[in-house]
A and B are shown apart, each in its own frame.
Chain A
Amino acid sequence: MLYLYALVDSAAALPDDVELVSIDGIGAVVGEIDDVVDPTDEQVLSHARVVDQVAALNDAVLPVRFGRGFPELHELEAALARLAPRLEERLRAVRGCVELGVHVVGTVEPPTQSELGADYMRRRLREVAEAEAIADEIHVPLAERARESTRSGSTGPTALLRAAYLVPRGDVDAFCAAVERARGRHPSLTFACTGPWPPYSFADLEEGVR
């Protein structure tokens, strides 16, 4: 069986212990395995390590989701040939970019003893609306600095924003400075900026307009 790690250009450089299957300009980074993999944390980290190594060697990498593959080589080749135009488009989109994740977390006050139910509901509604406005105020300028962005749906006052940004390598420092400025504008909120990651959140063909 062929275990899939990432999709790349057909001329991609590879780390040791993996192979390249190329067709129509698209390369699949695969490992030969005898049996299904256990979804343990070690296996997940090992998958991530191979994707990291491939991303370090190449400009355009589409990470594949954990635990996917093809029983036979000809099935993989057929799938690559069928999807080549769309994979090429995605490779072009992520070329030269890394993914940065931004989480913004706030706090919610529980209802006080004296607060009536209706008052509490009104306060919560107001807080949700305020949280949305703050999330937009943080997200929009960051998205403008990114080639693409993706944002989880409304998360409420505890998790204000959970988003990923596709950023050209050369713009990472400027992007992080923009995150720092947002942090400075909202000293009461907790910011977590993670990455740079290979562009996991921007690799899927099924996602629509971002």
Chain B
Amino acid sequence: MTSDLPLAEQVTLIELVDRVLNKGVVIAGDITLAVADVDLVYLGLRVLLTSVASLDRVEEQQA
């Protein structure tokens, strides 16, 4: 996982993480089983956030 990855792979990885963290069904009555804020995952993947796709993500977070 480095910014040396081809653009297509970087975009795919960012898209994957975005889906797993922000999409998907949430069932009323459930609880969070992840201790810290999921923003940490983005920090972990920050090396990837150099691509064209990251502009998109940064914009979205600021919106």
Interface of A toward B, CB cutoff 8 Å: 1, 3-4, 7, 33, 36-41, 43-45, 47-48, 51, 62-71, 75-76, 78-80, 82-83, 87, 90, 101, 103, 105, 152-153, 155-156, 158-159, 162, 190, 192, 194, 197, 200-201, 203-206
Contacts and interface: CB of A to CB of B under 8 A. Distances in A.
B29 to A, nearest CB: 4
A65 B21 contact: yes
Interface of B: 1, 7-8, 11-12, 15-17, 19-38, 40-41, 44-45, 52-53, 55-56, 59-60, 63
Contact of B41 (A41, A82, A190): A41
B21 A66 contact: yes
B31 A71 contact: yes
A45 B25 CA distance: 17
**When A and B form their complex, which 5 residue pairs have the shortest distance between CB atoms, in order from nearest?**
A67-B34, A65-B24, A200-B19, A200-B23, A203-B25
A147 to B, nearest CB: 17
A101 B12 CA distance: 9
- Find the residue from A67, A83, A105 having the highest chain B CB count within 10 A: A67
Contact of B8 (A66, A153, A192): A192
> Which residue of B23, B26, B40, B41 has the most chain A CB atoms within 10 A of its CB atom?
B23
Given A4-B27, A44-B17, A68 B33 contact: yes
Contact of B27 (A36, A64, A105): A64
